[in-house]
Homo-oligomer: A and B are copies of this chain.
Amino acid sequence: MLETALYLIPVPLSDGDIHDVLPGRNIAIVSGIRHYIVENVRSARRFLKKCDSSIDIDSLTFSTLNRHTRPEEVSEMLAPLRQGEPMGVISEAGCPAIADPGADVVAVAQREGHKVIPLVGPSSIIMSLMASGFNGQSFAFVGYLPIEPGERQRKLRSMEQSIGTLDQTQIFIETPYRNNKLLAELIKSLPRRLRLCVASNITSDNESIITRTIEQWGRSKYDYDKVPTIFLLYK
């Protein structure tokens, strides 16, 4: 029997065998949970079926949590947990509540004093940082850069400053179809000796994690169009 808790269940970042990226314990826990809070019901069902093909998916309950969910709905979703049932949170890809809406429901569970148990799984932020060669003792994930050109340049300047004064690796993402445009902008507007790591398709057969100076990137051929990619900047 599973402990009554809100389990945070990571999902693979790429296709392939889930046992390559998830510990066996995760699969065992998934098999014991009947109530889920998910970002997308279809992909969550597909993931659960992959974990355990004997799961009776139609006996499970799913609540959908996304950025349109109202706060009072978030709280209602935890009803089974309040009645002593273990619950699971599943996001579209990667670790729930990191760069996705799961954090709201975790905050409610914490406020009510429920146990919250995070499981091990792939995080593109941590995996790219590990492989970048950059400072892992001080780093910031800043999400998406601003779209408006002036704001975007100001953000880049403030990131440069954080690298210099705080010795802090800067980690950010872009909408995949804009990756090449972002990379061209970085090459154009950043100091030539800064190092940029571009990490794409993490955990897939096409994984590529490459660190070069801005100057070297300027002389390189690249194509990250529509490919899941994360960017890291350091001196």
Interfacial residues, chain A to chain B (CB-CB below 8 A): 8, 17, 19-25, 95-100, 102-104, 106-111, 116-118, 120-123, 125-143, 166, 168, 197, 202-203, 207, 209-211
Interchain CA distance A17-B28 in the complex, whole Å: 14
Q: List 12 A-B contacts (CB under 8 A).
A: A21-B23, A21-B25, A97-B133, A103-B135, A108-B133, A110-B211, A118-B131, A120-B122, A137-B143, A138-B141, A139-B140, A140-B168
Contact of A106 among B121, B132, B143 (CB under 8 A): B132
In the complex, chain B residues whose CB is within 8 Å of the CB of A134: 103, 107
Q: A117-B207, A121-B120, A126-B123 are in contact. Are A133 and B19 (CB under 8 A)?
A: no
B211 near A120 with CB under 8 A, answer: no
In the complex, chain B residues whose CB is within 8 Å of the CB of A117: 131, 207, 209
In the complex, chain B residues whose CB is within 8 Å of the CB of A110: 131-133, 197, 210-211
Q: In the complex, which of the residues A103, A118, A121, A168 has the most CB atoms of chain B within 10 Å of its own CB atom? A: A118
Tell me the smallest distance from the CB of A163 to a CB of chain B, in Å: 13
Tell me the smallest distance from the CB of A146 to a CB of chain B, in Å: 13
In the complex, chain B residues whose CB is within 8 Å of the CB of A202: 118
Interchain CA distance A116-B207 in the complex, whole Å: 10
Q: A21-B23, A126-B123 are in contact. Are A131 and B143 (CB under 8 A)?
A: no
A118 near B209 with CB under 8 A, answer: yes
A95 near B126 with CB under 8 A, answer: yes
In the complex, chain B residues whose CB is within 8 Å of the CB of A8: 130-131
Interchain CA distance A138-B141 in the complex, whole Å: 5
User: Taking CB as reference atom, which chain B residue is nearest A110?
Assistant: B211
A98-B126, A106-B133 given; 17 more Cβ-contact pairs under 8 Å? A19-B24, A21-B120, A23-B23, A95-B126, A96-B130, A100-B136, A103-B134, A106-B130, A109-B133, A110-B132, A116-B131, A118-B127, A118-B128, A137-B141, A138-B140, A138-B142, A140-B140
